[in-house]
Amino acid sequence: AAPLTIIAGPCQLESADHAQMIAGKMKEACDSVGAQYIFKASYDKANRTSVSGVRGPGMEDGLKMLQSVKDAIGVPVLTDVHWPEQCSIVAGVADVLQIPALLCRQTDLVLAAAETGAAINIKKGQFLAPWDMANIVAKVESTGNTRILLTERGTSFGYNTLVTDMRSLPQMGQTGYPVVMDATHSVQQPAGLGGSTGGQREFAPLMARAAVAIGVAAVFIETHEDPDKSPSDGPNMIYLDQMPALLETLMQLDKVAKAYPLEV
């Protein structure tokens, strides 16, 4: 199996300069440990807990920032889509279109994204079982698109808490498509702060380590040079300057995991 891919970036796009800075540092860190790298950031947080949460630069400006990352840093980019009509526009820039977890059952969105021919990263809804993803995969495949990634990001567990069932990784893998562990959102505490979502940044490396030891294709992890100043998901993003050490550990585990593949 190929070495680990890292999908990383800030939760929200803040500016072209900021996006390039993070993409540049992450590319350097990934290159130095032999990981493939995909830049990730959102142009619109369409489902903020509170109506007053900052939503991002919007699609038009956001796509310009993503294009600037591709041009300046030379890495593929991933971003999420929210309405069917956004898909073809976003696919003009983004290499991977991401279906947000809460929208993974919206047939029109999934089909519109799939029809662009771009790679599609489907995040598993917090309300779904791993095997339910086969139905969504079939929706994408119905368009002829088989460039599919499936992402674990935690499952509802009581109130305001998620739990990650590590069995879901090979279970989703039984579709035949690569599986991604989202180490950031799986440690969210949804609406855990009342008007906003809390998180447990300290557990994101744990989620990544466990998933890599099982043999996932990729880890998704949000990062920021100063998470507490980030406009969203601050409580669960990892400090940018801690990423090189984390990547070093993950690549060591990845080598073992792929030398001794788990059979399920």
Q: Which residues would be at the binding site for a copy of itself (CB under 8 A)?
A: 46-51, 55, 82-84, 102-103, 105-108, 111, 125-130, 132, 135, 138-139, 142, 155-161, 163-167, 169-170, 187, 190-191, 195, 200, 202-203, 205-207, 209-214, 245, 248-249, 252-253, 256-257, 259-260, 262-264
Tell the smallest beta-carbon distance from residue 76 to a copy of itself (Å): 27
Could you tell me which residues come within 8 angstroms of residue 144 by beta carbon, excluding any fewer than 6 positions away?
none
Cβ nearer to a copy of itself, comparing 17 with 167: 167
Tell the smallest beta-carbon distance from residue 133 to a copy of itself (Å): 10
Cβ nearer to a copy of itself, comparing 75 with 227: 227
Instruction: Give ∠ CA 168-250-147 in degrees, rounded to 5.
Output: 50
Helices (H), the chain: 16-33, 59-73, 86-90, 107-115, 133-141, 168-173, 204-214, 243-259
Tell me phi and psi for residue 249, to 5 degrees.
Answer: -65, -45
Query: What SS3 class is residue 249?
Result: helix
Cβ nearer to a copy of itself, comparing 69 with 139: 139
Tell the smallest beta-carbon distance from residue 226 to a copy of itself (Å): 19
Tell the smallest beta-carbon distance from residue 55 to a copy of itself (Å): 8
Token look-up 């796509």 returns 63
**Packing angle of the helix pair 107-115, 133-141 (nearest 10 deg):** 40
Cβ nearer to a copy of itself, comparing 72 with 213: 213
Tell the smallest beta-carbon distance from residue 35 to a copy of itself (Å): 15
Query: Distance between CA atoms of 183 and 208, rounded to whole angstroms?
Result: 5
Closest CA to 9 of 110, 95, 89: 95
Could you tell me which residues come within 8 angstroms of residue 146 by beta carbon, excluding any fewer than 6 positions away?
140
CB neighbours (10 Å) of residue 108?
13
Query: Distance between CA atoms of 58 and 147, rounded to whole angstroms?
Result: 26
Cβ nearer to a copy of itself, comparing 10 with 130: 130
Cβ nearer to a copy of itself, comparing 70 with 105: 105
Cβ nearer to a copy of itself, comparing 17 with 131: 131
Tell the smallest beta-carbon distance from residue 258 to a copy of itself (Å): 11
Tell the smallest beta-carbon distance from residue 66 to a copy of itself (Å): 21
**β-strands 155-156, 188-189 pairing:** unpaired
Tell the smallest beta-carbon distance from residue 141 to a copy of itself (Å): 9
Cβ nearer to a copy of itself, comparing 74 with 138: 138
